[in-house]
Amino acid sequence: MKYSLFDSSSVSGRLVAGVDEVGRGPLCGDVVTAAVILDPSRLIDGLNDSKKLSEKRREALFEVIKDQALSWSLGRASVEEIDQLNILHATMLAMQRAVAGLAVAPELVLIDGNRCPELPCEAQAIVQGDGQIAEISAASILAKVTRDREMLAVDREFPGYGIARHKGYPTKIHLDALDRLGVTPHHRRSFAPVRRVIETGSTAK
């Protein structure tokens, strides 16, 4: 992949941050975002959409990014915020928090997807940007590794749901476990399968 579609901006001294999220689709857990400003003088080999990398490779790049980036920050929206705001608005809030947490203020923010949150600087949404823009790829790796680790912790707290395997997504294993074991404090009550369990005792429509 190219280091960035905005290399010309980097040469002129413009600071570019990439932002991505992980966890919009799962039935449980926070939505996690990351913002990353890479150092043009320290290119990181192997960046790509985090979903296209092996777990081992993501874990290795996670440490490299934290060590070599000019600045990085994590943001999140809690399960309670997701239920209150809806997942779209909670994701926008989590992205705002990630950008606000950067130690260096970016001049341009590139966001994976098709819409941008309100930010104090120029922002541009790029569909499938996590496979095209190095800064977004780096953000996707930080967000995914962070959330995956948190899901492993939830799995230890609530064994039986298979969360270590599916990371909270609505797989058959997860839905069957909800029917059998019920809803945990980590589940998003506004999401239809979880809401149905609360109301009827079953995820079935």
Give the whole-angstrom CA distance, residue 111 versus residue 130.
9
pLDDT digits (tens, 9 = 90+) for 15-30: 999 999 999 999 999 9
Q: What is the structure's pLDDT at 12?
A: 52
Which residue did the predictor score with more confidence, 191 or 9? Answer: 191
Whether residue 61 is found in the same domain as residue 112: yes
**Which pTM does this prediction carry?**
0.93
Query: Two tokens at 90?
Result: 């909670």
Any idea what the CATH number is for the domain that residue 37 is in? 3.30.420.10
pLDDT digits (tens, 9 = 90+) for 134-191: 999 999 999 999 999 999 999 999 999 999 999 999 999 999 999 999 999 999 999 9
Query: Two tokens at 71?
Result: 């600045």
Number of domains in the chain: 2
Give the whole-angstrom CA distance, residue 63 versus residue 3.
18
Whether residue 51 is found in the same domain as residue 138: yes
147 domain-assigned: yes
189 domain-assigned: yes
Q: What is the structure's pLDDT at 21?
A: 98
Give the whole-angstrom CA distance, residue 47 versus residue 137.
6
Mean pLDDT across the stretch 23-41? 96
* Cα dihedral: 117, 18, 66, 28 (round 10): 50
Residue 161 Cα distances to 28, 149, 186, 194, angstroms: 11, 16, 12, 13
Q: What is the structure's pLDDT at 2?
A: 42
Asked whether the CA dihedral 159, 198, 193, 115 is positive or negative, the reply is negative
SS3 31: strand
Please say whether the beta carbons of 117 and 6 come within 8 A: no
pLDDT digits (tens, 9 = 90+) for 66-102: 999 999 999 999 999 999 999 999 999 999 999 999 9
Pairing of strands 16-22, 31-37: antiparallel
Please say whether the beta carbons of 104 and 14 come within 8 A: no
* Amino acid (1-letter code) at residue 25: G
Whether residue 135 is found in the same domain as residue 193: no
Contacts of 8 (CB under 8 A, 6+ apart): none
Whether residue 164 is found in the same domain as residue 84: no
Q: Is the pLDDT of residue 9 over 70?
A: no
For residue 104, what are the domain limits?
7-156
Provide DSSP, 35-50.
Answer: EEE--TTS--TT---G
Give the whole-angstrom CA distance, residue 58 versus residue 31.
18
Query: Two tokens at 186?
Result: 């980590």
